[in-house]
Structure 1
Amino acid sequence: MAALPPGIRRGVEMHRAIDLLTDQHPQVKALNALIAKRHGRYASVLTDIGFDHFLFLHWQDFGPEPFATFCTTTYHRILRQRPLMPEKAARFATGMVEGKWLRMYGTVAGMNDVFRRLKKRLSQPELLDGVDTLLVDHHAEFNQAFISLFPDLQTLADGYRPQTTDLSGPETDPLRPPA
């Protein structure tokens, strides 16, 4: 990690802190325990992905800008960072942008597509059998945990955001809006 530009390194540190806070949150622990009954060791992964859907559902309350603008800006930032990525990650990023993956989080059908993609990469894909009903069956539990957790995540993220956007130079700063 020491070889990464400072802004990227700080982003990795923030992501790890977000994961830790999420995993320790009481309502998330309860949600994971509920999901683990059917999906075992992948419960926390499914919760994390499910929260992406609930962020979309609550975008008006928590999003920094209209969702379409956020997607355009995010895709631009991802593409701008490709030269820093290993070849496999760069191909993945290109596929994400070309497939407009962020919009998949807006619907249950899109989320089921996300879950299908995930299932192909798992050592125990059978643990995702029945995942297509997860967000509907446990909508209330996901929503309650998300609403409780997300303001804490925003506060945590605010502590990692730079006072200035110049973390690693104009060409590598993932937080700088495109020109």
Structure 2
Amino acid sequence: MQYLEPMNFLGHAYLSFGHPEILVGNMISDFVKGKTQYQYPEDIQKGIKLHRLIDDYTDRHPATLAAKEFFRPAYRLYSAPIVDVVYDHFLASDEQTLTDQELSELAQNTYNILDQFHYLLPSPLVAMLPYMKRDNWLYNYKSEQGIYRSLQGLMRRASITDDGSKALAVLLANKADLGIQYRHMIADVKHFAKGAFEELIDPAKSLPNN
């Protein structure tokens, strides 16, 4: 069945800053196409927009451009989504950003919020959510097996004749260098996302003389 594999959700959950509707929008954005975004409540629309702003910023960040080069020889255009998944692995393992307890709480809170807004979720995410909770995807991004499952899912969705083991091997062989790129990126994207979040939640604060 399609969409039953882990995806790079953790960063978007983390960069929702504890706001339930923003988190829902952030988590469903990849499943929402075109004008259908305007069918959602306003704060969920803001979460969808935040997700896309984060993706655009991260994709253009020099650290991401450098990280993609490790995967480009084998995966070419798919190096970008692979790096997204790899970043979630580093975030889940980064106890300076998320302690193990904070990661566990973020994962459980995310599942609870998605359950609360179940009636608004796109059907692919509805199908995915029981597996996400059962196998605790968000927490298990920190393990080698968890990230391998996520890479396997990416390969299946992209119809790549690769079980993800090659991408995992590249990650493990270059983990120190990829970790450097992650650390260059994470502080910048958190600062950017926080500013974008605050502007979306209260646009008046971003106006001059306010």
The interval holding the TM-score normalised by the smaller chain is 0.7 to 0.9
Work out the CA distance in 2 between the residues paired with 1:109 and 1:127: 13
Provide the residue aligned with 1:123 in structure 2: 159
CA contact (8 A) 1:55 1:62 kept: yes
**RMSD in angstroms over aligned alpha carbons?**
2.4
Query: Distance between the aligned counterparts of 2:87 and 2:104, measured in 1?
Result: 19
8 Å contact kept, 1:22–1:149: yes
**d(CA) in 2 for partners of 1:12 and 1:115?**
24
Change in Cα spacing, 1:46 to 1:5, as seen in structure 2 (3 Å) is same
Contact 1:31 1:142 in 2 (8 A): yes
1:59-97 deviation per Cα after TM superposition (whole angstroms, max 9, x unaligned):
x22238622111111110111121102333212122211
CA-CA distance at 1:128 after TM superposition: 4.6
Q: Report what 1:37 is aligned to.
A: 73
Quick one: distance in 1 between partners of 2:164 and 2:104? 30
Q: 1:75 is matched with which residue: 83, 103, 111?
A: 111
One-letter code aligned to 1:121:
R
Work out whether residues 35 and 43 of structure 1, in 8 Å CA contact, stay in contact via their aligned partners in 2.
yes
- Normalization by structure 2: what TM-score? 0.70
Deviations 1:81-132 (A, max 9, x none): 2110233321212221122111221111221111122222213334956123
Distance (whole Å) between structure 1 residues aligned to residue 142 and residue 163 of structure 2: 24
Tell me by how many angstroms 1:162 deviates: 4.8
Extract unaligned runs of 5+ from structure 1: 166-179
Relative CO higher for 1 or 2, CA cutoff 8 Å, sep ≥ 6? 1
Higher deviation after alignment, 71-80 or 122-131: 122-131
**Aligned residue in 1 for 2:168:** 132
Aligned length: 165
Q: Which runs of 5+ in 2 are unaligned?
A: 1-36, 202-210
**Counterpart amino acid of 2:48?**
V
Establish whether residue 147 from structure 1 lines up as the match of residue 164 from structure 2.
Answer: no
Identity of aligned residues (%): 21
Contact preservation (8 Å) 2:148, 2:168: yes
